[in-house]
Amino acid sequence: MEKAGKKVFLFVADWCGDCRYIYPALPEIEETNPEFTFIRMDRDQYMDLAKLWDVYGIPSLVVLEKDKEIGRFVNRDRKSKEQINDFLAGLK
């Protein structure tokens, strides 16, 4: 059963070096932020949604609560575990 609350859509791709850089930290990020549901989205498979949400650089995060966007960390830069945790802390 899916839990209610804030959903983090993480746009990634297997060919993306910066995405592969953050993959090992994802379990710890999820554990540190249990109030969020994390949904990994392959940007190439969900290109229509990525375009709709103006997600062109990856890895990128879009956070929704009750189907409304409450935050985004969208750019082409490499993201560290600390940067992602700081971003999510600002949305708690």
Pairwise CA distance, residues 35 & 51, whole Å: 27
If residue 47 lies in a helix (H) or strand (E), which one and from where to where?
Answer: helix 47-52
Average model confidence (pLDDT) across the chain? 93
Residue of 91, 89, 69, 76 lying closest to 11 (CA atoms): 76
pTM metric for this prediction: 0.90
Q: What six digits make up the tokens of 2?
A: 């899916």
Length of the chain: 92
What does the pLDDT read at residue 3?
60
Question: Does 72 have pLDDT greater than 80?
Answer: yes
Q: Specify which residues 72 forms β-bridges with.
A: 62
Tokens matching residue 64: 């929704």
Q: Where are the domains of the chain?
A: 6-89
pLDDT score of 24 more than 90: yes
83's tokens = 């940067």
What homologous superfamily is domain 6-89 in, according to CATH?
A: Glutaredoxin (3.40.30.10)
Report residue 31 CA to chain centroid gap.
14
At residue 1, the pLDDT reads: 43
User: What pLDDT was estimated at residue 77?
Assistant: 83
